[in-house]
Amino acid sequence: MLIYFVRRVALTVPTFLALMFLTFVAIRLVPGDPVEVRVGEHGMSPERLAFFRHELGLDQPVWKQFFDYVWKLMHGDFGVSLATQQKVLSEFFTLFPATLELAFFAMLFAVAVGVPAGAIAAVKRGSLFDQALMTVSLFGYSMPIFWWGLLLIMFVSVRLGLLPVSGRIDLINYYFDQPTGFMTVDALMSGQPGAFIDALRHLVLPAIVLGTVPLGVIARMTRSSMLEVLSEDYVRTARAKGLPPSRVIGVHALRNALLPVVTVIGLSVSGLMAGAVLTETIFSWPGVGKWLIESIGRRDYPALQGGVMLVSAVVISVNLLVDLIYGAIDPRIRHGR
């Protein structure tokens, strides 16, 4: 058990190193003078150029620059954003809770709708509901979510006026401290009546948009996994024992069918991050994804470099965590490697 854990954790070290190398090389490949790219200033005098060249360590050999870069990253120094002059790391941590909150509610939506719907479709295989759900699921994972977001804004927010168009909270009516960065939690803690509801109302559309693709995948996955389990012997035994159908399906079948579904949920973190870039852009959601896009627009390469690095680090860590949990739950995985 311990050996598996240590080995699995050790395996991420080369990945992290390679990731550092990738971001290091990528920024060097940006066309233009490296000093100008990194200082964000153009047409500098030769003295100023030389000063920054030394300041940024660009007069050092490349291998030493890379070593310095890795050294700084290990000490939490991800550089300073050109646009805000703030540390990239602290900027990331200010914005990340917004992305996390959005991703959490998106996944909640996808699981809360996808799992029961998929299970029902499997039980009533071939029924109208089954066919309808499979069609919805096909639409779900084929959906260009940026367009889906625009459609929802157009109909639900603009035409019907039911939900807000953008942002995380109505800043005119509600203003409070945000110690956690999670708007729903902070709103609850603020004690302002209506603030929590308002935060939730702002979450509905972005969460639906970001959750649409996972919903399609989860519904389909639950259905096929459930179909497989329903033909197992132990389900037949449970039926033969005379257990009520609700118990056979809900306890004996569904619980076993959920294992592959949990895998899919674990693996979808990367997809959620990618989707968050689009969703946050559409809904002006002040998260990490929107920040990355804005950094490109502003040619803020340190922010972009650090941002890509940190987002990927989150994904690698979550995947590691999922693997470790599996190792703990399922001995076959531990010994398989």
Partner 1 sequence: MAADIAAAAEASPPDDSVAEVLAQPSPLAAFWAAFRENKGAVFGLTVFGLVLLLALTAHVVAPYSPVVQFREAVRAPPVWEAGGSWRFVLGTDGDGHDMLSRLIYGSRVSLFIGFSVMSVSFVIGAILGLLAAMTGPVVDVAVTRLMDLIMAVPSLVLAILVVAVLGPSLANTIVAVTIVYLPRYVRLVRASALGELNKDYVTAARVAGVGPLRLAWSTVLPNCLAPLIVMAALGVSDAILEAAGLGFLGLGAQPPTPEWGSMLADSREFIRSDPWIVTLPGLAILVTVIAINLTGDGLRDALDPKMRRS
Q: List residues binding partner 1 (CB under 8 A).
A: 14-15, 18-19, 22-23, 26-27, 29-31, 138-139, 141-148, 150-151, 153-154, 158, 223-224, 227-228, 270-271, 273-275, 277-278, 281, 292-293, 296-297, 301, 304, 308, 311-312, 315-316, 319
Q: How far is the CB of 277 from partner 1 (least distance, A)?
A: 5
Instruction: Name 244's Cβ contacts closer than 8 Å, sequence gap at least 6.
Output: none
How many CA atoms lie less than 13 Å away from 257 in the CB half-sphere?
30
Distance, CA of 250 to chain centre? 30
Q: How far is the CB of 27 from partner 1 (least distance, A)?
A: 8
Q: How far is the CB of 289 from partner 1 (least distance, A)?
A: 8
Q: How far is the CB of 252 from partner 1 (least distance, A)?
A: 19
d(CA 273, CA 277): 7
Q: How far is the CB of 55 from partner 1 (least distance, A)?
A: 23
User: What length does the chain have?
Assistant: 337
Contact between 117 and 109 (Cβ < 8 Å): no
Q: How far is the CB of 156 from partner 1 (least distance, A)?
A: 12
Q: How far is the CB of 327 from partner 1 (least distance, A)?
A: 17
Please say which residue, 81 or 178, places its beta carbon nearer to partner 1.
Answer: 81
Please say which residue, 50 or 299, places its beta carbon nearer to partner 1.
Answer: 299
Please say which residue, 13 or 172, places its beta carbon nearer to partner 1.
Answer: 13
Element (H, E) at 210: helix 195-230
Please say which residue, 173 or 284, places its beta carbon nearer to partner 1.
Answer: 284
Please say which residue, 92 or 196, places its beta carbon nearer to partner 1.
Answer: 92
Please say which residue, 18 or 197, places its beta carbon nearer to partner 1.
Answer: 18
d(CA 89, CA 37): 20
Residue 193 burial (C-beta neighbours within 10 Å; 0-12, 13-18, 19+)? exposed
Element (H, E) at 37: helix 34-39
From residue 79, how far is each of 52, 70, 247 by CA, in Å?
Answer: 14, 12, 56
Q: How far is the CB of 21 from partner 1 (least distance, A)?
A: 9
Please say which residue, 112 or 158, places its beta carbon nearer to partner 1.
Answer: 158
Taking alpha carbons only, the member of 160, 238, 153, 248 closest to residue 204 is: 153
Residue 304, both tokens: 């972009």
How many CA atoms lie less than 13 Å away from 259 in the CB half-sphere?
10
Please say which residue, 142 or 180, places its beta carbon nearer to partner 1.
Answer: 142
Three-state DSSP class for 138?
helix
Residue 43, both tokens: 């047409």
Three-state DSSP class for 87?
strand
Please say which residue, 35 or 103, places its beta carbon nearer to partner 1.
Answer: 103
d(CA 141, CA 310): 27
Q: How far is the CB of 221 from partner 1 (least distance, A)?
A: 10
